[in-house]
Amino acid sequence: MLLHRPGSELRRLTPRNNDQLLFDGVPWVPRAQAEHDAFAAELTSRGVEVLYVDRLLAEVLAYPTARTELITAAVDDPRLGASLKRAAAAHLADLAPADLAGTLIAGLAHDELRGGRGVAYELMDRRDFVVPPLPNLLFTRDSSVWVGDEVAVTSLAMPARHRESTITAAIYAHHPRFAGAEQLYDASLEHLEGGDVLLLAPGVVAVGVGERTTPGGAERLARRVFARGLAHTVLVVPIAQQRATMHLDTIATMVDVDALVMYPAVADSLVAWTVTAGDHPPDDDGVVDLTVRGPEPFVEAAAAAMGIDRLRVIDTGLDPVTAEREQWDDGNNTLALAPRLTVAYERNTVTNAALEAAGIEVIRIAGSELGSGRGGPRCMSCPISRAPL
């Protein structure tokens, strides 16, 4: 499981910049770290191997090719101008791998840059960043998603998150731990975020389309998983383009082989288009023909694709006000460690009670500070491989 322990990048958040950096508040960093450590400890106690982004990044930065790629990406910003870009690149190139990893994640402030020069540097506010921080790196689910034994390095929609994909791409490309891993997608393609991708069953993938993932991204992923034999059905699921429902996994997550928990406000209205490979063979460029059917109710389309009679939706029994509150607090963004075993924020008491009443064991974790970036346990984790069911 790939995690990122929050660090100095969260200390860069202020009331002046937190909206731009996609946080709804300024978290108390030591408490956020303690909450994350407890989350990681729960995973480890259940037999999950935890890998940390910053450690993997420091290790790949020992390789010259990876250093060059990541430094180039960090200063590839039209705000900087040629002089400041050269000065920032030189500053970063002088750093040891661990220090460079920390700076690429936490950012480089105006006053931290040695040898800053140029018009852009002189006119920049002293509180501004030459290299912006990446506080959303905490949500490792979004910048990559594994389908079978291949990894899709995603194309993140929000400018504040673009560099996250360059970091995950470098880790998968250069770290010996991932030697030979095939990349299914890359950040140069249509917008696609990992939080919008649900693996419902072997061969069945659901992709949410809304604020962060485009229809073109869903179509591109479908063609690629079909061409590589990784799936036989992709369900394309439109979701409301709102902050509280930014990804498909903020409104629905699997908690058993035939069950999911879902935001009650969308349970009766969520629909899906069913996409399968067409009858024609791939063309000369390897592009797979597609057949698209729908729309129909999501739970019906999912059950048919999964080959089961019915996909159970766990009834949380929430009144509209409580449902809206627990949706805002990521009550439906659970992390399934195994069938009927899930991790959830402790604060969503009603949703958690409903899960337990349905036979789902809930590992409760604190998230008062972690949740300020609008993400729950599933958002904060990227499973790399799982034991087969």
Is 379 one of the annotated active-site residues of the chain?
Answer: yes
CATH 1.10.3930.10 fits 51-133, yes or no: yes
Tokens of 181: 């891993």
pLDDT in tens, the chain (389 residues): 999 999 999 999 888 888 777 777 788 899 999 999 999 999 999 999 999 999 999 999 999 999 999 999 999 999 999 999 999 999 999 999 999 999 999 999 998 998 888 898 888 888 889 999 999 999 999 999 999 999 999 999 888 888 999 999 999 999 999 988 999 999 999 999 999 999 999 999 999 999 889 999 999 999 999 999 999 999 999 997 665 457 899 889 999 999 999 887 787 889 999 999 977 666 545 677 899 998 999 999 999 999 999 999 987 666 666 656 655 555 678 999 999 999 999 988 888 998 999 999 999 999 888 877 678 899 999 999 887 76
Q: Are 179 and 233 in contact (CB under 8 A)?
A: no
Q: How far is CA 383 from CA 38, 144, 146, 149, 226, in A?
A: 18, 10, 7, 11, 21
Q: How many helices (H) and strands (E) does the chain have?
A: 12, 18
| Set 61, 314, 379, 380: catalytic member | 379
3-state helix, strand, coil in the chain (%, to 5): 40, 20, 40
Assigned CATH class of 136-325: alpha beta
CA–CA gap between residue 236 and residue 196 (Å, rounded): 10
C-alpha R_g of the chain:
21
User: What's the pTM value of the predicted model, to 2 decimals?
Assistant: 0.91
CA–CA gap between residue 222 and residue 331 (Å, rounded): 29
What is the domain partition of the chain in residue ranges? 51-133, 136-325
